[in-house]
Amino acid sequence: MNNTDKATIKSVLLWKNQRRYIREAFEAGTLKAAIVPTGSTEQHNEHLAMEHDTASALHISKLAAEKLFPEVIVTTPLALGVAEHWMHHKGTLTLRPEVFGEVLYDVCDSMRRHGIKNVLIINGHAGNNRPARERIDDFRERLGINLIFHSYWDACSPGFIKEHLKSGNYPGHASEFETAFAMAAFPENIDWEGVDYDAANLPFASQADSDYDRTYHEEAKLAIAAKGQLMIDVAVGWVADKLRQMIAETEKQEGKQAK
Ligand SMILES: [Zn+2]
């Protein structure tokens, strides 16, 4: 038995490994899939940190990859997304949809060039949905790999949400769903201290925008950590299953080709 027979990654997070762990894992054939988390840096109402969509996508991706250790690696997340619709709130960063798509493509292509045949994009920001879905078939064809895009909340059925969330609203925006997630995963990202919603000088794009924002603000107060944990567990299990399916599909395909 040589050294590479048992070589594995040190962490499921790509950027936490020294290059030798990644190289030897590829040489040993233990790495079978990659997750690319996509998020955003944008306003999340008065109480949630602006990293929420990136942090949540990364949290789900990391736990799902750990379930399949050492077969799945998580790439550096895209912490910038398509958030033009929130630019009237100071601090939001946005990419043009085509730039977001190109960066996403290049990350997937980098993994393909290293020999990864299965890439699952796990998204945490609703604004990325359309730009990614519009191009995913083209990306798959050009890359010639098994490539799938999902938002992590695709794991939750409407019935499940209705049963467990008081507001019944998901993913919403910094409302009950996301606030419960943060309470369970990174409570330090929630800061209600000094929040005075009615006194705040809030910029809104329209009356509808203002109404939604206030609704989300109120719904956020319904959040409890236990529900957030429940949704995280469901999403992690669901993403892990998707990865198992993708790996099995590709292996079956390769088995057929070898015959
Ligand atoms: Zn969000």
Distance CA 199, CA 120 (A): 43
Q: What is the CATH number of the domain that holds 170?
A: 3.40.50.10310
Q: Is residue 15 part of a domain?
A: no
How does the average pLDDT of the chain come out, rounded?
Answer: 96
**What percent of the chain is modeled with pLDDT above 70?**
98
How much is the pLDDT for 78? 98
**Segments forming the whole domain that contains residue 170:** 31-258
- Greater pLDDT, 40 or 2: 40
Spell 72-95 as b/e; 16+ CB within 10 A means b.
bbbbebbbbbbbeebeebeebebb
Residue 242 is assigned to a structural domain of this protein: yes
Residue 170 lies in a domain: yes
Residue 16 lies in a domain: no
> Any idea what the Cα angle at residue 66 is, between residues 61 and 70, rounded to 5°?
120
Confidence of residue 5 (pLDDT cuts 50, 70, 90): low
Q: How far from the centroid of its chain's Cα atoms is residue 192's Cα?
A: 25
Banded pLDDT at 6 (limits 50, 70, 90) = low
Proportion of the chain above pLDDT 90, given as a percent:
93
Q: In angstroms, what is the span from residue 73 Cα to ligand 1's centroid?
A: 24
1 has a pLDDT exceeding 90: no
Q: Are 229 and 237 in contact (CB under 8 A)?
A: no
pTM of the predicted model, to two decimals? 0.96
Across the range 100-111, mean pLDDT stands at: 98
In a domain, 140, yes or no: yes
Domain for residue 58, yes or no?
yes
Residue 175 has pLDDT above 50, yes or no: yes
**3 pLDDT more than 70:** no
CA of 37 to the centre of ligand 1 (A): 14
90: closest CA among 127, 130, 44? 44
Residue 244 CA to ligand 1 centre (angstroms)? 27
In-domain check, residue 18:
no
Q: If you average pLDDT over residues 58-62, what whole number do you get?
A: 98
Q: How far is the CA of 50 from the centre of ligand 1 (A)?
A: 8
pLDDT computed for residue 221 by the predictor: 97
pLDDT in tens, 109-157: 999 999 999 999 999 999 999 999 999 999 999 999 999 999 999 999 9
Rounded mean pLDDT, 78-90: 97
Q: How far is the CA of 87 from the centre of ligand 1 (A)?
A: 14
Instruction: Give the distance (Å) from ligand 1 centre to CA of residue 105.
Output: 22
Neighbours of ion ligand 1 (CB under 5 A): 52-53, 178
How many domains does the chain divide into?
Answer: 1
Ligand 1 centre to CA of 178 (Å) is 6
Determine the distance separating the centroid of ligand 1 and the alpha carbon of 2, expressed in angstroms: 47
Centre of ligand 1 to C-alpha 3, Å, is 44
- Longest Cα–Cα distance of the chain, Å, equals 70
Instruction: Please give the distance, rounded to the nearest whole angstrom, from the Cα atom of residue 169 to the centre of ligand 1.
Output: 13
Residue 238 to residues 26, 45, 59, 60, 242: CA-CA distances in angstroms?
26, 28, 14, 10, 6
pLDDT value of residue 259:
72
Rounded mean pLDDT, 189-208: 96
Confidence of residue 106 (pLDDT cuts 50, 70, 90): very high
Q: How far is the CA of 220 from the centre of ligand 1 (A)?
A: 12
* 245 occurs within a structural domain: yes
Residue 205 confidence (pLDDT) above 80:
yes
Residue 30 has pLDDT above 70, yes or no: yes
